[in-house]
Amino acid sequence: MATQNQAATAPNSELSDLPDRTKAALTEVMTVLDDIGRVRDAPGLFLVVSSSGSTYLIDAQSGTCECPDDQYRDVTCKHRRRVAFATGRRPIPSWVPEQDLDDDFGAHVDGEVQRTATDGGVANSGFTDGTVTNPQLDPFAVHNEDDPRTKRAKREDIDVSFLAKPGRYEVYSASNSVYEVDVLAETCSCPDRAEYCKHRQRVDIEIHNGLVPRPDGKLPNAG
Ligand SMILES: [Zn+2]
Ligand SMILES: [Zn+2]
């Protein structure tokens, strides 16, 4: 098999840098459903059909999945991660190549798949100058379907600054605590044991909206 040189513009980050469950959530064939059977008209409930044909019930609000991985280990399983990506609750890093994503992404659920800022600038929502009239454009607008942690991530007086290390952000919470969020390793130094704490959510929102530099350190509007 011929090997080809990597393009000079290859991103610093690779899919293999992601935690296994996140990689699986992005690339494995899964179907997320929110409008049939047990989950019809049930906000926050989803069914995920895996490539092996198993179906699991996910409660995005309480953060549970029926699968053994989620029930018996202290983790967030790939199904829950997939639901977060497919519904746009969690943005997909822009450097993850489109062709690596499962084709079925976001096909059967409400909400739109979100990508973090791509090269060449991002939409500036302009909320800081108070000109936003459409709540859809305000990244900190709280929606009914937001889970409690997401609401706190948006409402609280949290300050995010970029550290000069790839993917690291310092987060100043409303309680004057300082935590370090690592976007690539998907960790936060806070005591909240939830996989996707409000600090990580806040950092993702700020990156997605170009309010802080992207994980690679480039300024949001740098070409
Ligand atoms: Zn699961
Ligand atoms: Zn945290």
57 CA from centroid of ligand 1 (Å): 8
Ligand nearest to the CA of 202: 2
Determine what percent of the chain is predicted with pLDDT higher than 70: 81
Angle between helices 198-208 and 148-155 (to 10 degrees): 60
Ligand nearest to the CA of 49: 1
28 CA from centroid of ligand 1 (Å): 13
| Mean of pLDDT values over 43-62 | 89
Every domain of the chain and the residues it spans: 1-115, 120-223
Give the tens place of pLDDT for each residue, 17-49. 778 888 899 999 999 998 888 898 888 899 999
Closest C-alpha to 46, from 26, 76, 66: 66
User: Which residues neighbour 15 within 8 Å (Cβ) at sequence distance 6 or greater?
Assistant: 23, 26, 27, 96, 97, 100
pLDDT of residue 107: 79
156 CA from centroid of ligand 2 (Å): 13
Q: Which residue has the tokens 């990508």?
A: 115
Give the tens place of pLDDT for each residue, 82-106. 998 898 888 887 778 888 899 888 7
78 CA from centroid of ligand 2 (Å): 20
Ligand nearest to the CA of 170: 2
pLDDT of residue 94: 75
Burial of 214 (0-12, 13-18, 19+ CB in 10 A): buried
Ligand nearest to the CA of 54: 1
68 CA from centroid of ligand 1 (Å): 7
168 CA from centroid of ligand 2 (Å): 13
Closest C-alpha to 26, from 83, 110, 108: 83
| Cα 93 to Cα 111: distance, rounded to the nearest angstrom | 17
Query: Does 12 score more than 60 pLDDT?
Result: no
Determine what percent of the chain is predicted with pLDDT higher than 90: 17
Q: Which residue has the tokens 């480039």?
A: 218
Ligand nearest to the CA of 192: 2
207 CA from centroid of ligand 1 (Å): 27
Query: Does 134 score more than 80 pLDDT?
Result: no
| Mean of pLDDT values over 9-23 | 70
